[in-house]
Structure 1
Amino acid sequence: MQQRYVGSSGLRVSRLGLGTMTWGKDTDEHEARDQLVAFCEAGGTLVDTAAGYTDGRSEELLGSLVGDVVRRDDVVLATKAGIWRRGGERTTDTSRRALLGGLDTSLRRLRTDHVDLWQVHIWSDEVPLEETLAALDQAVSSGRATYVGISNYTGWQTAQAATWQRAAAGRTPLTSTQVEYSLVSRDVEREVVPASAALGLGILPWSPLGRGVLTGKYRTGIPGDSRAASPVFASFVERYLDERSRGIVEAVVRAADGLEWTPLEVALAWVRDRPGVTAPIVGARTAAQLKGALGVEHKELPPEIRSALDDVSEPA
């Protein structure tokens, strides 16, 4: 798998990342093991998790596999902090205390003394930005993180955070931003993508398959084993089951038929090669699903098809 630098940093990662949001819940230990092995055998290096994924079980499962089925030096471990589950409720806390305490917990779960990329999972209006960013500086200066980034920041938030980190000596520049980005979700192109380009951040798209919609599996209904059929995730998918998204999906399917690809490969190749993108984060429930995504490595969209997809998915 090709390797890319993350933004203007010296960090290099595979141009597809492995997402682990379902690990420890919908993805059991055996499927997780098979996913990690298949990903690394294909040349993948970037593995992304978060303290808030499945109440920490994602990090624990990943930590039990790294060093066992793959070497620690063969993966770029990325995790996030700022979203937590406390008493069964989802909370956000980007204070210095919460972030650094959460990082120590993440390191114990991951069974390592450092992560390669540590990201603030969400913006918070309740904590001063300089306090949140100071936690990133401390994580790097203490050796607990090598590179740092942000996630789910708007354009102005991205610019403010990245500029603050560049404003004084001793602060650690931001390396990346992780945001939702796909053919059905292109709003980040208005401000986040230009801000990232101007300030040297690599973009790590999450949900590059439009929360599963761009695979085409919802064209004729809602499969019983899909997220849209789950009471927990139904609302997560429903926003992309509208008329506009259906038109985009049909264009992806037509392109796939003409190329003799899968719709998944078309949608993933499109976002992987967008300006500023370093590596889409691909999350799969099973190893078989992941292997379907890994097949895109040797595929590149013809310019005329890319242009047609650009037109049909152009944001209003």
Structure 2
Amino acid sequence: MQSRLLGATGLRVSSLALGTMTWGSVTDEHEAREQLAGFTEAGGTLVDTAAGYGDGASEKLVGSLLAENVVAREDIVLATKAGITWRGGNRGVDTSRGGLLTGLDGSLKRLGVDHVDLWQVHVWSPEVPLEETLTALDMALSSGRAAYVGVSNYTGWQTAQAATWQRSVPGRATLASTQVEYSLLARDVEYEVLPAAGAMGMGVLAWSPLAGGVLTGKYRTGIPSNSRGADPTFSSRVDVYDDERSRGIVTAVAKAAEGLEWTPLQVSLAWVRDRPGVTAPIMGARTAAQLKEALQVADLTLPPEIALALDDVSAV
């Protein structure tokens, strides 16, 4: 699998990332173990989790697999996020310096490591001064608890403001990356977020590159009982694409896949991976079999004429 530098840093990561949002909930320990082993065997290195995934369940499962030495700690680039919590079914946001650093310490304990390779603020909060939030990143870096830092789900102006603030004074932690939703069905980040990230030397990690599985075509004739669309926790991510434009894009992806003798999943994932500015799409497979199909993209490149046709049909 190809490796890429994360933005203007020296951190090298795989061109496909392994997402673990469902680990510890929908994805059990057996499936997670197979996914992690298969991902690294295919040359993957970047593993992304968050304190808010299952209220720490994802991090605990990642940590237990590292403790079992399913993969060696030094063989992966371990990324996590702080700022969002789920307790009793209620979503909370805390991007204060104290909240973020406490969250980081909790993440390190659950993961069973003394530092993470990439630590990201999970979401913007208007309730906390940006400079306070960013001070937490400075402290994480200076204390050795994180090697690199970034942000997630920031708009274009928020991305530019945060990155500029960090670059304005020597010694502050430079933002290495931003993590945003990006797929053939969700291209709004191309207007401001991607240009801002490019101007500030930040890598882009694309979450939900398959639009919650919609781009695989699995929902063209209904909602499978074992899919995310049938899960109340994730169904809203599928329902949002129940419109004529989205159906047209899904059909175009299916036709491209048929002509290439690929799967719609592979077409959609390859398109995101090779978009300008993208370092890696984050694959959130529910099963090891799904991940195996996705990993085959490592050896595939969309023909330019197919990529251009998908650009046109999905243009906002």
TM category (shorter chain) comes to over 0.9
Rounded Cα–Cα distance in structure 1 between residues aligned with 2:232 and 2:254: 28
Query: 1:73: which partner in 2?
Result: 74
Residue 46 (1) aligns with residue 51 (2): no
Query: 2:160: which partner in 1?
Result: 159
Query: 1:235: which partner in 2?
Result: 236
Q: Write out per-residue CA displacement over residues 54-92 of structure 1, whole angstroms, 9 at most, x where no aligned residue.
A: 110100000111241100000000000000123431100
Rounded Cα–Cα distance in structure 2 between residues aligned with 1:234 and 1:86: 20
Rounded Cα–Cα distance in structure 1 between residues aligned with 2:233 and 2:99: 26
Aligned partner of residue 90 in structure 1, secondary structure: strand
Deviation, structure 1 residue 283: 0.4
Q: Write out per-residue CA displacement over residues 101-157 of structure 1, whole angstroms, 9 at most, x where no aligned residue.
A: 000000000000000000000000000000000000000000000000000000000
Name the count of aligned residue pairs: 315
Rounded Cα–Cα distance in structure 2 between residues aligned with 1:25 and 1:86: 14
Q: Write out per-residue CA displacement over residues 25-82 of structure 1, whole angstroms, 9 at most, x where no aligned residue.
A: 1111110000000000000000000000011010000011124110000000000000
Deviation, structure 1 residue 221: 1.0
Gaps of 5+ in 2: none
Asked if the contact 2:137/2:149 (under 8 Å) is kept, the reply is yes
Q: CA RMSD in A?
A: 0.7
Query: 1:130: which partner in 2?
Result: 131
Stretch deviating more after TM superposition (210-219 or 233-242): 233-242
Asked if the contact 1:213/1:241 (under 8 Å) is kept, the reply is no
Alignment CA distance shift 1:51-1:268 (3 Å): same
Aligned partner of residue 278 in structure 2, secondary structure: coil
Query: 2:295: which partner in 1?
Result: 294
Rounded Cα–Cα distance in structure 2 between residues aligned with 1:134 and 1:6: 22
Instruction: Give the counterpart letter for 2:255 in structure 1.
Output: R
Report the TM-score when normalising by structure 1. 0.99
Q: Write out per-residue CA displacement over residues 147-188 of structure 1, whole angstroms, 9 at most, x where no aligned residue.
A: 000000000000000000000011010000000000000000
Instruction: Give the counterpart letter for 1:33 in structure 2.
Output: R
Residue 11 (1) aligns with residue 11 (2): yes
Rounded Cα–Cα distance in structure 2 between residues aligned with 1:13 and 1:86: 32
Instruction: Give the counterpart letter for 2:217 in structure 1.
Output: G
Rounded Cα–Cα distance in structure 1 between residues aligned with 2:141 and 2:232: 40
Asked if the contact 1:8/1:201 (under 8 Å) is kept, the reply is yes
Instruction: Give the counterpart letter for 1:25 in structure 2.
Output: S
Alignment CA distance shift 1:157-1:186 (3 Å): same
Rounded Cα–Cα distance in structure 1 between residues aligned with 2:243 and 2:296: 29
Deviation, structure 1 residue 231: 2.1
Query: 1:20: which partner in 2?
Result: 20
Query: 1:91: which partner in 2?
Result: 92
Alignment of 1:252-263 (within 5 A): 252-263=253-264
Rounded Cα–Cα distance in structure 1 between residues aligned with 2:228 and 2:39: 23
Deviation, structure 1 residue 249: 0.4
Stretch deviating more after TM superposition (162-171 or 61-70): 61-70
Report the TM-score when normalising by structure 2. 0.99
Gaps of 5+ in 1: none
Give percent identity, aligned residues only: 72
